[in-house]
Structure 1
Amino acid sequence: MILLKLSIGVLIACVGAGTSFSELTYVWRRPGLLIRSLAAMYVLVPLVAFGLVLVMPIERGVKAAMLALAVSAGAPLLPKRLKTLHIEQYIFSLLITSSLVAIVAVPIWTVLLSAYFDVEVKLPVRTVVTDIAKTILLPILIGMGLRFVFPVSSERLSNRVMIAAWVVLAVTGIILLVVHREHLAGLTWQGVLSFVALMIVALFIGQILGGPDPDERTALAIACAMRHVGIALVVATEFVGVRTLVLVVAYFVTAFIVSSIYLKSRRR
């Protein structure tokens, strides 16, 4: 968990080092896009997860993972991945906005959905605020501060550091899955289908609500499917044992691969 969170924080700091202050309010100046983006990430995708849990005969551990994914809206790892779309302003502004909205939305959704997901989890606002501040907002400010003081060298160095952070994140996630592979082997086909369905429908929702710009549709689709890895890990650790955490990490690994394929197909 320490390595996972540390690598995420470093990645976000690198994003900040490559971003200007003027990009912060981009999506705020486009209220239509802002409303559609937040509705897709914070309303429709959680409702899809809620529907899947009600319809699919899945075990309690999978329901816990679905809850963690449902309430964890956000896009902390997207900016550099989607740089080829040349819409950095929208992606970065969406990152900041979604992280701020999560402070209120995540505890509310957790309270509303936990009873229906047949799991019990208490996620105080203070916990969410602390996690977002440590893993998202503080690294962003550090990165942007470095860019302000060292405008040329900070961006060049951030690209190298980001590669190392991605390697640490990937290796840590894979090790976690290998060590606790019994939790993956015990998955039923209904559980696998639920995760896949959530991922695909989330992509579809973002694609529909992204608006007329094809690049913004692609970015929102991937944001909806990837979810907020930092918040999801916090919610997952609230459950006893590591099963929920392992399933959440497995979802992110799969979503990363699927979204990469989706991104390549959209760029053609």
Structure 2
Amino acid sequence: MTETLMILLKVSVVALIACVGAGTSPSELTYLWRRPGLLLRSLAAMYLLVPLFAFGLVLIIPIERGVKAAMLVLAVSAGAPLLPKRLKKLNSQEYIFSLLITSSLVAIVAVPLWTALLGAYFDVTVELSESKVLSDIAKTILLPIMIGMGLRAIFPVWSERLSDRVITIAGVVLAASGIILLVIHREHLVGLTWQGVLALVGLLVFALFIGQLLGGPNRDDRTALAIACATRHVGVALIVATEFVGVRTVVLVVAYFVTAFIVSSIYLTWRRR
């Protein structure tokens, strides 16, 4: 059952990312690249400041090995694959699409580097080669994006209509699979210490804050970056988490994403007022 749920989670993410690609134009793709200041702040928030804060929490708070591994997974899993669906009502679509593509490209270099350095430093067993990370990210993120963009170029009207339906279905499957996984392995959540809960909640709150701080003068851009920092990259996280020994890391990572989804939804509602 667990293996089936993991497959459903990954397939849902791939489908969502492909649909995002189907709604992306070349001008949206390069939006951030034409704004180096915003680009650097966004990448610094997602790939540097949030990871460093997570590592700091691991050093300061005495937490168990499973939570430590989950924190490491979340720290290295920067990105924003689900932003376009969640933030459709914001007036920052070009920024959101460009952030998705750019963060996925950066992940190819950043994820193997962070995982290799910090897996050894925090004494967390990671049976993960750089070539495997590169291959998995290319197959689950970049290839679906390219396929989606290709379909948009060939069948613009048809691909847009189909992508909206697939996004809805994939979103439901993703949420249902995650919740069922948590129910099946609820013993891993019941045994959490208050230090572990504090560390995971602290990471979520700080990520929202740093994204809000560095998102620039545009209110919607700040909201988008805050949610991107907090929710992390579910596709990358699942790739990395499945390589850790034991199912506990995967369960804790999924629990974080469910919590982050709820908290960021409340935050988004507040920001839209």
Fold shared by both chains (TM-score > 0.5): yes
Counterpart of 1:79 in 2: which secondary structure? helix
Query: What is the aligned counterpart of 1:147 among 152, 156, 173?
Result: 152
Q: State the aligned residue count.
A: 268
- Asked whether the 8 Å contact 2:63–2:195 carries over to 1, the reply is yes
What is the match of residue 239 of structure 1?
244
Alpha-carbon separation, structure 2, partners of 1:24 and 1:31 = 14
What is the match of residue 11 of structure 1?
16
- Asked whether the 8 Å contact 1:16–1:139 carries over to 2, the reply is yes
Counterpart mapping for 1:70-81 below 5 A:
70-81=75-86
What is the match of residue 97 of structure 1?
102
Q: Say whether 1:47 aligns with 2:44.
A: no
- Asked whether the 8 Å contact 1:63–1:118 carries over to 2, the reply is no
What is the match of residue 235 of structure 2?
230
Alpha-carbon separation, structure 2, partners of 1:4 and 1:178 = 15
Q: For residues 170-194 of structure 1, what are the alpha-carbon distances to aligned partners after superposition, in whole Å with 9 as ceiling and x for unaligned?
A: 1111111011010011101110111
Query: What is the aligned counterpart of 1:187 among 176, 189, 192?
Result: 192
The alpha carbon displacement at 1:122 in A equals 4.2
Counterpart of 1:121 in 2: which secondary structure? coil
Counterpart of 2:83 in 1: which secondary structure? coil
Q: For residues 81-109 of structure 1, what are the alpha-carbon distances to aligned partners after superposition, in whole Å with 9 as ceiling and x for unaligned?
A: 11111211111111111111111111111
Q: Say whether 1:197 aligns with 2:202.
A: yes
**Structure 2, unaligned runs of 5 or more:** 1-5
Most deviating of 68-77 and 149-158: 149-158
Amino acid across the alignment from 2:181: L
Q: Say whether 1:178 aligns with 2:180.
A: no
What is the match of residue 119 of structure 2?
114
Amino acid across the alignment from 1:242: V
- Asked whether the 8 Å contact 1:202–1:224 carries over to 2, the reply is yes
- Asked whether the 8 Å contact 1:16–1:143 carries over to 2, the reply is yes
What is the match of residue 133 of structure 1?
138
What is the match of residue 171 of structure 2?
166
**Structure 1, unaligned runs of 5 or more:** none
- Asked whether the 8 Å contact 2:126–2:245 carries over to 1, the reply is no
Alpha-carbon separation, structure 1, partners of 2:194 and 2:58 = 14
- RMSD (Å) for aligned C-alpha atoms: 1.1
Query: Identity percentage over the alignment?
Result: 79
Q: TM-score, normalised by structure 2?
A: 0.95
Amino acid across the alignment from 1:81: R
